[in-house]
Structures are given as structure tokens and as C-alpha cells.
Structure 1
Amino acid sequence: MTIETESPAPSTPATPGGPLFSGIRVESLSYERNSMPRCGKCLSVDSFLPQNSCIADIPKPDVSLVRKLGAEFVGTFILIFCATAGPIVNEKYNGAETLIGKAACSGLGVMIVILSTGHISGAHVNPSLTIAFAALRHFPWIQVPAYIAAQVSASIAASFALKGIFHPFLSGGVTIPSRGVSTAQAFFMEFVITFILLFVATAVATDTRAVGELAGIAVGATVMLNILVAGSTSGASMNPVRTLGPAVAAGNYKHIWIYLVAPTIGAITGAAVYTIIKHKGDDAAGTSRRSFRRGKASSSHLCPSAHT
């Protein structure tokens, strides 16, 4: 009698030169690296509805919503504190930070937040990003209000903390169009730089072929680049809560609508453009590769109609 033994599965081939971040698994910026199912209906609920009933077909999260909101609050607090402190210090000490320093404060703030909380909450720290990902079905709509509430409250808390530390220099951290810059110019600039930001963020956060572990570096570098380009014109907010919190603390709401509307439209457009142009062959074949990752990606949970 012949006994057949199952040969062990081949190990994942080592990345040439070794992984860039050994042992780190960053689930940056997105609820799932796979897109939300596009069944045309809603999401299944398995507790009190029939099996095929739907309200929303979302995968069960491996982290509780409370912990996600906690991580989102802390991450947003860190980002707003750092991104706003740079311009305030620049104002208080007569240009000590310079534009490069202000760009570094925001870019490095984004990077460390993504690397530290991306695997918990996705490290959105930006309502425009949350809305854009939900609109493109990379994030469940049912969690959007809670995420935005955490982001807004963290922004206001960070801004009042800065007010307590640096008063009366908080006006340096408020994002308003620079002198000589029209409302239309500021609006278009915020739209374009947020488009760029979300194009990059969608690539590294939702495409399974992208290097997910480098999301923090890629997005942080994009933020720095955008501030170097637009910091002297519109203030380079790219984030409604980057403007809202300091505006509330300083009592300066001048042209605030620009920084609420333009980034949101730019974010949705940037995420949509990448979603349209990306190659979908891997997703259609059911494969899910992740660069510099060990282990298999989790399977997506699709409702029955998604398979037809």
C-alpha cells in the first residue's frame, strides 16, 4: 500500500535584497485592499435577516469599530498638531521653518501616522479621503459618519492644544488664500493637489499589486510635494479638517468653503481616475498579490449576485 504524503506548500520567495520593512504589515489607508463588491444591491447581514437579504455586503472587520475610531482620533490629532505647529512656529520665529520645513512637518506627520495606525483604522485622517474611498466602494458607507466625527473632533482638540501653547500666534496655522490669490485660483489649486494625493493614495492602498508597506512613504512624499507647490498660494490644505480645526480655534472662517468643497471633489476625482485606469486582470482572475508581503491576502466577501 502506498501512502501519499502532502508536500509542504512552497514558501514565498524572498524579495531580492530582503524586505524593506521586515515584519511590518501595513494595511494603509483602506478598509480592504480589495474593492468593495459591486453587486448593485447592498450588504448582507447575517443576524436578523434572511441569508440573501442585504443592507451592505461588507467583510467583517478584524478590529472593532471603537478601536478604529480611537486610532483615527489619535492619528488625526498627531497629524493636525504637527502640520499646524510648523506654520505657527514659522510665524512666531520669523520664518525659521521656511516652506520646506512646513512641508516636512505635514509630510512626515502623514507618514508616521500611516505606519503606526494604518493597520488599525486605515489611517484616513482626512474626511475627503474617507468619502472618496466610500464612493468608490473601498470603504463601507455605514462607517463614514463615525470616521468623520473622529477626524473633526481630533482636529479641533489639536488646534485648541496649539492655541494653549502658542497663543496668540495661532493665525499662522490657518489655511487661507495668500494675498493676491483669487478665490478661483485657490479653489482650483486645492482641487488639483488633492487629486494628486488621492490618485497616489488609491494606488498604494487599494491596488493589490502596489507596495502596500510603502504607502506611508509614498503618501507622505506626495503631501510634501503638494505643499512645496501650493503652500505659498492656497496654503495646501488637501484636508477639510486641516482647515476646520485651526479655523474654529482662531475664529477665522475666511473662505473656509474652499477647503471643504475643493478637496472633497478633488479626492473623489483622483480616486475615480486611478480606479478607472488600473489593470483589473488580477482581480478578475481571483488572485491577490501584495508586494513585500508574506502570506495570502484575505478573500473578499461577495454576496451571491456578485458572482453572476
Structure 2
Amino acid sequence: MGKCDKELIIKLLCEFLASFFVQFIGCTLTEETVLGISLPTTGSFPYAMSWGGSVLAATQAFRIVSGAHINPCISIASMILENVGILDGMLYILMQLIGSALGFGLSFGIFYDSKFKNKKFCCTAITLDPWWKAILLEFYMTGAWVFAMCASWHESNEMMLESISLRIGLVVVAATYVGANFTRSCMSPFRSLWPAIAAGEYKHIYVYVAVPPLTAILLAVAWRFLYLQGKSETVKPEGGGD
């Protein structure tokens, strides 16, 4: 096995672990089976800190190896910006799919108890009226994460790598806080997919599964062809950057 293959395997393992960690911690810390208090009582800030804090920790741990995409939307944006190849990006997404499934499964297996009122463990739900406003909200929240990652990949951030995990984490905290009481802040299709399957609850699932990836495609294309004027993020100015 060549050196490049070993490096790819390590990166894929990191994406698996990062996705597993975020889904497990996020579902575990935000369910009333653990907190003992439901989301409307605790408020949206603890919810935002649970998911955003887990993203911050995973980014800090795995960014230097795999880039800590965690979210398939980030991998889609990275492929469009040519930071990762198409095949590598698809493998990243596969690892995120598996990691998030096992992370949810472990949290569900340990903490779910039917005696609690919450029968839909870790599920996302739309409370906005009319429901289509959730599309705009998920677009905004996912876009914040995607744009934050696009900015972190830009060469202007090469000298500020130490703070990137903190900045990405805080963006996710803020975005999650905005939507916590309206959509429970998905931003990643896998975050909502597995809880929906476990609960058999598919109402508005298309919003959670379709809107974040479409957002990533639209905003990554806009970033590359409007802001970078067609260049990939890996392309430096002629003569190199300072």
C-alpha cells in the first residue's frame, strides 16, 4: 500500500471519528433523558453549546489531519473549491454517514428510555408557521458554516491556523442558537436522518436532507466564481503569497 493510500485511510478514519463524536455528544447532551429538562425549559443556548461545542472540539482534534469536515455539506464545498478530489470527497461523505449513524446509535442505545416523554430521540422538527420558512432558516444556518469554512481555507488565514477551530465552533454555536427553537438547527443531513429513521418520523425530512447540500453547492460555487473569480482555494497569487 502506497504512502498516499495510508494518508487517505488516516484522513477517512479522522472523518469517521469526528462525525461519530459530534453526533454522539450532540444527541446525548441535548436529550431530556440526560439533562432531565426539555429544550423549551433549558433554552436554546445550552442546545447550541452542545452541538457547536462538539463541532469545536472535533475541529480542534482532527482539522490538522483531515480538515475536520464533519458535515457532508463542507465536503461538497471542498470538492467544488478543489481542496479535495471528487473521489476523496465522496469517501469523506461515506465516513461521515457511517460515523454519524454509529454515534447516534450508541447515544440511542445508552440513553433512550421509553418511560421518558420524549419518544423521538434527537429528532429535528419544524415549529415555524408556515413551515417553508424553515427552508430559509436552514439555508442561512448552513450557509454560515459553509462560508466560515471557505474563509478558513483561504490563503489569508494561513498565519491564523491556531484560532480556526475556535472560530468555526463559534459560528456553529451562533447558527445553532438562531434555529434551535424553530428547526432544532440541522445544517447537516446526517444529523437529522438517523434520528428520523429510528423514530419513523419523516415529516419535513426533505427540508433537512435536501436544503443543506443545495446550500453548500450554491454558496461554494458563488465563493469560487464570484469571490475567487474561478480559481480554486489552493491556487496562490502568482509569485506566492506573503
Q: Which of the five TM-score ranges fits, normalised by the shorter chain?
A: 0.7 to 0.9
Cα separation, partners in 2 of 1:123 and 1:285, compared to 1, 3 Å: same
The answer (yes or no) to whether the contact 2:56–2:169 under 8 Å persists in 1 is yes
Residue matched to 1:257: 206
Looking at structure 2, the residues matched to 63 and 219 of structure 1 have their Cα atoms a distance apart, in angstroms, of 28
Q: Map 1:68-79; keep pairs closer than 5 Å.
A: 68-79=11-22
The answer (yes or no) to whether the contact 2:121–2:199 under 8 Å persists in 1 is no
Higher-Rg member (1/2): 1
Q: Which moved more, 1:246-255 or 1:115-124?
A: 246-255
**Per-residue CA shift, 1:269-288, capped at 9, x if unaligned?**
333333332598x9222324
The answer (yes or no) to whether the contact 1:87–1:97 under 8 Å persists in 2 is no
1:101 aligns with 2:49: no
1:88 aligns with 2:35: no
Question: How much does 1:77 deviate?
Answer: 0.5
The answer (yes or no) to whether the contact 1:82–1:105 under 8 Å persists in 2 is yes
- Given candidates 218, 221, 227, the residue that maps to 1:277 is 227
**Equivalent position SS for 1:247:** helix
Looking at structure 2, the residues matched to 84 and 181 of structure 1 have their Cα atoms a distance apart, in angstroms, of 25
- Given candidates 200, 216, 220, the residue that maps to 2:165 is 216
Q: Map 1:208-247; keep pairs closer than 5 Å.
A: 208-210=155-157, 211-247=160-196
Residue matched to 1:121: 66
Question: How much does 1:97 deviate?
Answer: 4.2
Residue matched to 1:146: 91
**RMSD value over aligned CA atoms?**
2.5
Cα separation, partners in 2 of 1:286 and 1:79, compared to 1, 3 Å: farther
Point out 4+ residue stretches in structure 1 off by more than 4 angstroms: 60-63
**Equivalent position SS for 1:171:** coil
The answer (yes or no) to whether the contact 2:175–2:185 under 8 Å persists in 1 is yes
Looking at structure 2, the residues matched to 207 and 171 of structure 1 have their Cα atoms a distance apart, in angstroms, of 40
Residue matched to 1:165: 110
Residue matched to 1:185: 133
**Per-residue CA shift, 1:113-160, capped at 9, x if unaligned?**
111111111111111111121122222101122211111111111111
Cα separation, partners in 2 of 1:216 and 1:147, compared to 1, 3 Å: same
**Equivalent position SS for 2:31:** helix
Looking at structure 2, the residues matched to 68 and 198 of structure 1 have their Cα atoms a distance apart, in angstroms, of 20
Q: Which moved more, 1:81-90 or 1:257-266?
A: 81-90
Q: TM-score, normalised by structure 1?
A: 0.67
Q: TM-score, normalised by structure 2?
A: 0.84
Identical-residue share of aligned pairs (%): 26
**Per-residue CA shift, 1:228-280, capped at 9, x if unaligned?**
11111121110111111222233322221111111112122333333332598
Question: How much does 1:216 deviate?
Answer: 0.9
**Per-residue CA shift, 1:161-210, capped at 9, x if unaligned?**
111122234625111212x4333111121111111111111101x21111
Cα separation, partners in 2 of 1:286 and 1:84, compared to 1, 3 Å: farther
**Equivalent position SS for 2:64:** coil
Unaligned runs of 5+ in 2: none
Looking at structure 2, the residues matched to 218 and 107 of structure 1 have their Cα atoms a distance apart, in angstroms, of 11
**Equivalent position SS for 2:132:** helix
Q: How many residues align?
A: 228
1:286 aligns with 2:236: no
Looking at structure 1, the residues matched to 12 and 42 of structure 2 have their Cα atoms a distance apart, in angstroms, of 32
Cα separation, partners in 2 of 1:170 and 1:62, compared to 1, 3 Å: farther
